[in-house]
Structure 1
């Protein structure tokens, strides 16, 4: 894998979770400051990525307003974010064979930084690793990361063997960490509960 930073990288929004702590349903479609959470995430990523994809299971029509490809997991049983990442990597390999990398972001992170993709690539290139993930306040966010398309076969084998932990799989291949400050707002604040949705609304108002 080259150490050069690619000029453009497709983005994958991971929206395939079950949202149990939010009471079920499509958490990314919950309203935040007058728009779905997903709309905030897409807006943050669109200028950084060479096209966007959504990973979600069930009827893709509920995301039709975004005009983006919607990819279901190819691993049965809600196998978690790794399954969504595999779906994105497989789609790129088939539809865009020139794409070497995919960046993933959780669909419940409306404050994702505007320099996410560039800094993930820079961290990976500097460390000479296969992968990179984001961190803030000393905590790694494994689902927000950079993934080489060429590792999709290894990821498929890992999922078939029962692997579900992102951190464990990435450590096997080497993962660089790009760190962001958590003030004034943690850029990787994620919304899991109604209380956190209300908190995110307050944070948005403060930022504005």
Structure 2
């Protein structure tokens, strides 16, 4: 498989942060999104940002900005579809997605996802971490997605599917297990308290 393209999902409405773009919040002197880009860019062949609204607010990051093609903020699957369509235009086989509010995700995210996909005719893998109660906790905004599934996903969204795992389970998605020693590397910034915690972790 060719090296996947990367798509940072930033299409949410950030209600718990009072609205606006979480990726533009300051973390240790840089926008939160800058920390995500720094981890993502070395792992993928090219990188884009899924976001809605005026794309000029992200001009400083010099990335293609991909709006959802499905109206009404239907959730991360719409961002995945936007990324798949962008990747298809570039002749890519797959994308890896990551969330714009998760500054500590693993620096080996892509290699581990690719390893977990070995032998799959249609690669589809979600990241997961150990969970004391449930065994594993899936992180549905972090995944490897085959571009060949984009029309199926388009139809699923049109049919009202919104939950990532509901769609991925249909296609036999696998999980790539990542260690979570000390804290979950997929910890994301949802609230002002989370942002304070991220500041403590990064310093």
**TM-score of the superposed pair, with normalisation by structure 1:** 0.92
Alignment of 1:179-190 (within 5 A): 179-190=177-188
Is 1:178 aligned to residue 176 of structure 2? yes
Q: Confirm or deny: 8 A CA contact 1:19 1:192 kept in the other structure.
A: yes
Work out the CA distance in 2 between the residues paired with 1:22 and 1:59.
19
Work out the CA distance in 2 between the residues paired with 1:189 and 1:77.
26
Match of 1:201 in 2: 199
Structure 1 counterpart SS, 2:43: coil
Task: Select which of 148, 151, 154 maps to 1:150.
Answer: 148
Q: Confirm or deny: 8 A CA contact 1:185 1:203 kept in the other structure.
A: no
Q: Confirm or deny: 8 A CA contact 2:50 2:79 kept in the other structure.
A: yes
1:130 Cα offset (Å): 3.2
Match of 2:113 in 1: 120
Alignment of 1:35-114 (within 5 A): 35-94=30-89, 96-97=90-91, 99-114=92-107
| Count of residues in Structure 1 that have an aligned counterpart in Structure 2 | 198
Match of 1:3 in 2: none
1:129 Cα offset (Å): 5.8
Where structure 1 has 5 or more consecutive residues not aligned to the other structure, the ranges are 1-5
Q: Confirm or deny: 8 A CA contact 1:102 1:147 kept in the other structure.
A: yes
Moved more, 18-27 or 136-145: 136-145
1:126 Cα offset (Å): 5.1
Deviation above 2 Å: which 4+ runs of structure 1?
126-130
Two-structure CA RMSD over aligned residues (Å): 1.2
1:164 Cα offset (Å): 0.3
Match of 2:133 in 1: none
Structure 1 counterpart SS, 2:169: helix
Q: Confirm or deny: 8 A CA contact 1:127 1:176 kept in the other structure.
A: no
Change (3 A) 1:183 1:154: same
Moved more, 175-184 or 112-121: 175-184
